[in-house]
Structure 1
Amino acid sequence: MSALSVDSTARELVAAVRGRAISARELLDLHLARIAERNPELNAIVSLDEERARAGAAAADEALASGEAVGPLHGLPFAFKDTHAVGGWPTTYGSPLFVDHVPEADELLVERVRRAGVVVVGKTNVPEFAAGSHTFNTVFGLTRNPVDPSRSAGGSSGGAACALASGMVPLADGSDMGGSLRNPASFCGVVGLRPSLGRVPEWPLYNQWESTSVGGPMARNVGDLALLLSVMAGPDPRTPQALRDPAAAFAEPLAGSLVGLRVALSTDLGGAFEVDHEVAAVVEGSGAAFTAGGSSVSAAHPDLVEADDTFRTLRAWHLQAKFGRLLAEHPGSFKQSLADNIRLGETLSGADVARAYTQRTALSEQMRHFFTSYDVLVLPTSQVPPFPADQEYPSAINGRPMATYLDWMRASYLITVTGCPAISVPAGLTADGLPVGIQIVAPHGGERRLLEVAAAFEAATGQPV
């Protein structure tokens, strides 16, 4: 095994801890040193607790020495997204209303990752209540891009993506409603997966039947992401919509190929959104890698014309249902863009919500038919490269004004309401050296094939695996 560092793969680090090539204590020290070096400028990790992390690493070493059975992530330093409840750790949701909130118990995703043996070091920064794809809040401040700190790290899993890319942690968790796993992955040059509905079950939820937001994994490469997915996935009796496939299937080595793959490639889904010219060029260029690998690449896209209204309606309805009472009690404690979106939900009728769900059903059918002709759909992850960190959101793309903080995220959120899994994989750089990811989409339930395709693309483009 080559010399270990914080930039080693998670799989290498797990193997090293198990093989006694490095202790969990030593591994933690390496990551705490990187956190001390990069976090003051980047602000990716919040609620850092070195003393508790050292106690966790010591316990991990003792468990291994005693001969106990250990989990697949044993000894890896980990920081959970600050919207995921970790028992005994501050969980603020990026809101001043929860600055002193300490949950009593882990939520399901956290429970599974902790059981797999991670050493918790803290949380990763988020926008207020994970709303928006730029990570800033009044509790902890702004998270910056690790490639260019004058730029946004994306969001809402921006702290997670930044911490990964800068070597502060080897793996990260996140969640995604309109692109919160995918957009920051694109901005920071890492990999982020929005799983199929039901692949990574969540509990507790205020509404187990509301399904626009899902939890999922992030990593610096596809193989590491598959390892984390194998921990997060799988059914649970508390989650009625969970898919039944065994989680261990995702941990197997990925042996994907691009040969014979039927690829539909589109830079804008037929004019559904504006896309920055440099981003479009990277997406178009990715087609050459697929073709060189033996794929058949066609300029094609599904008809998702109803997806914009569907997403915006369901988002507003969801935000109002979850935060409406809190906003009424604390009207001055929400950022304006989020408050406006919650209040928009108050204007919706039952017929509006019913229309959105009817459209969502039609979109699912549209994708099912589309994937009888194609194996994957390739499109931009984000419509823009990382934008200046002092902006809340891009005001324009190619000179075309963006009216709201959602307009520039269509490339991701139009896919959200199809229910299909989508992965963002690094695909190139802008002229200024800023990361650009492509989004690869597969049929519902098709994560295994999607990971194999993403790994094959990663290998074909020379990305580290």
Structure 2
Amino acid sequence: MHDIVALDAVSLSRAVRQRALSCVEVMQAYLEHIERVNPPVNAIVGLQDPELSLAQARERDEQLDRGEYLGWMHGFPHAVKDLAAAAGLPFTMGSPLFEDQVATEDELFVARLRAAGAVFVGKTNTPEFGLGSQTYNPVWGTTGNAYDPVLTAGGSSGGAAAAVALRMVPVADGSDFMGSLRNPAAFNNVFGLRPSAGRVPEPGFLVSPAVVGPMARTTEDLAALLSVMAGADPGTPLANSEDPAVFTRSLERDFRGTRIAWVGDWNGHLATEPGLLELCESSFAVFESLGCSVEGALPDFSPERIWETFLTWRWWGNAAAGHDFHRHEERRARLKPEAVWEIENGLRLSGLDVSTAAAARAELYAAVQRLFERYDFVLAPSAQVFPFDKKVHWPTEIDGRPMDTYHRWMETVACWSLTGLPVLGMPVGFGARGLPMGVQLIGRHQADLAVLQLGHAYEQATHWVDRTPPPSVVGA
């Protein structure tokens, strides 16, 4: 593996700014590496002409020659998740309805990445419309796991996670409604941060459970990328107004006396694959070595009601986004069944159904806040199964317990999506079959920095990413 792609993103940024590496050298190293390791996993799709990427890298070098340093991502090869618009690149959302669509402008966070110096080389793969934690679609195909390409990379940021794990990009952007930054991070042994609601601004007056956030191989890289993506914007009335420069400061902090609640499988409510909980619980010793205490505790709120509330919010959002093409029979026939199911359930909702779900979401938030009166952080599994065969669209059962929806096997993330709290997906090691897993570290309201700080301390004590790179990276 080329020394350049082995660098963490913070070190790479420093080397470019100090002119120890040219942007062309960086681009050449990454394009060669992508050519070697991407074909078996299909993580980066819609790759633009390499000559164009090299020409854009030369422009970045010329800017440095003139003393024009754009920012932390100056000269970084970057692939945008294919649920977001990046001008000049495909914007298919994994759907055959949009297989020929090319974006004409950047979404806000994408524009920020470009302004910070990133060179967009392509997109990262995602399931159709981001529905499901398994990255396959009829436009680009299926994405394989960084540790075993015959297995799933998770989703919906599966392409982003596999690309980061395999060192095909320094960092990646992703999005998360139902674990899409957390499940693929667990399945590929990297970090994924689901920021607080409003941290990365989105237009509109509705606080959706969906957020955009960073993925990386280190917590420092996560924090640096978040500093680029975050920050208020006049067009986003609900955005957090805190200066994102806070994420460029040191992540070092003393955690002696910190209290952590472990929710586990919610007293047996969640089905889990054998061995998964025990692996996640092995992290307790790491936190205790940092001076923390970990004990079992749950919010005073029914998990069945959490799931019902989550379904209503998700149905409503998908119906709002998809009703226009669903009403045309020919277009509806080209949608995957899970998309049709989401939209049709949403179309059956009444205004009372939605307002009831909104009230339940507020009650859940209050229950979780009461839990945080006793604890500083919450810990939970990032998934309920280990990576599975990528030919399987979704697990229909876990340890003999049937799953009644295409996403029930990811229920472990639902509570934290609804509450809008910051959640860091972190590696927790490998199971008996050598497959990666992770845990969710949940922080208090808008405590993104605190979550990153504890995650950094955990990372320094474990070094899972450095200790256990994917086999194809070791071989390269």
Would you say same fold, with TM above 0.5?
Answer: yes
CA contact (8 A) 1:53 1:120 kept: yes
What value does the CA root-mean-square deviation take over the aligned residues? 1.3
Query: How many corresponding residue pairs?
Result: 460
Counterpart residue identity of residue 27, structure 2? L
CA contact (8 A) 1:327 1:333 kept: no
For residues 272 and 231 of structure 1, what CA distance do their matches in structure 2 show? 39
CA contact (8 A) 1:319 1:342 kept: yes
Mapping for residues 16-55 of structure 1, pairs under 5 Å: 16-49=15-48, 50-55=50-55
Mapping for residues 28-427 of structure 1, pairs under 5 Å: 28-49=27-48, 50-203=50-203, 207-305=204-302, 306-329=305-328, 330-427=331-428
For residues 263 and 209 of structure 2, what CA distance do their matches in structure 1 show? 23
Bigger CA drift: 269-278 or 246-255? Answer: 269-278
For residues 321 and 61 of structure 1, what CA distance do their matches in structure 2 show? 44
For residues 284 and 223 of structure 1, what CA distance do their matches in structure 2 show? 25
Q: TM-score, normalised by structure 1?
A: 0.97
For residues 418 and 324 of structure 2, what CA distance do their matches in structure 1 show? 26
CA contact (8 A) 1:265 1:287 kept: no
Q: Which runs of 5+ in 1 are unaligned?
A: none
**Secondary structure of 1:5's match?**
helix
Aligned to 2:455: 454
CA contact (8 A) 1:367 1:443 kept: no
For residues 126 and 70 of structure 1, what CA distance do their matches in structure 2 show? 29
Deviations 1:54-95 (A, max 9, x none): 121111111111111321111111000001101121111001
For residues 158 and 303 of structure 1, what CA distance do their matches in structure 2 show? 33
For residues 113 and 121 of structure 1, what CA distance do their matches in structure 2 show? 13
Shift of the alpha carbon at 1:303?
2.9
For residues 271 and 200 of structure 1, what CA distance do their matches in structure 2 show? 34
Counterpart residue identity of residue 55, structure 1? A
Counterpart residue identity of residue 43, structure 1? N
Divergent runs of 4+, >6 A: none
Shift of the alpha carbon at 1:464?
5.1
Counterpart residue identity of residue 6, structure 2? D
Aligned to 2:472: none
Deviations 1:359-383 (A, max 9, x none): 0111111121211110100010111
For residues 105 and 255 of structure 1, what CA distance do their matches in structure 2 show? 38
Evaluate the alpha carbon distance shift between residue 80 and residue 101 of structure 1 in structure 2; reply closer, same or farther with a 3 A threshold. Answer: same
For residues 94 and 205 of structure 2, what CA distance do their matches in structure 1 show? 23
For residues 250 and 381 of structure 2, what CA distance do their matches in structure 1 show? 27
CA contact (8 A) 2:190 2:465 kept: no
CA contact (8 A) 1:161 1:185 kept: yes
Shift of the alpha carbon at 1:210?
4.5
CA contact (8 A) 1:264 1:300 kept: yes
For residues 371 and 264 of structure 2, what CA distance do their matches in structure 1 show? 17
For residues 463 and 217 of structure 1, what CA distance do their matches in structure 2 show? 18
Q: Percent identity among equivalent residues?
A: 44
Q: TM-score, normalised by structure 2?
A: 0.94
**Secondary structure of 1:103's match?**
coil
Bigger CA drift: 287-296 or 236-245? Answer: 287-296
CA contact (8 A) 2:189 2:464 kept: no
For residues 444 and 381 of structure 1, what CA distance do their matches in structure 2 show? 20
Deviations 1:384-439 (A, max 9, x none): 11111110011211111112111101111221001111110001101111111110
Counterpart residue identity of residue 41, structure 1? P
For residues 163 and 63 of structure 2, what CA distance do their matches in structure 1 show? 27
For residues 434 and 243 of structure 1, what CA distance do their matches in structure 2 show? 37
Bigger CA drift: 261-270 or 348-357? Answer: 261-270
Aligned to 2:471: none
Q: Which runs of 5+ in 2 are unaligned?
A: 467-476
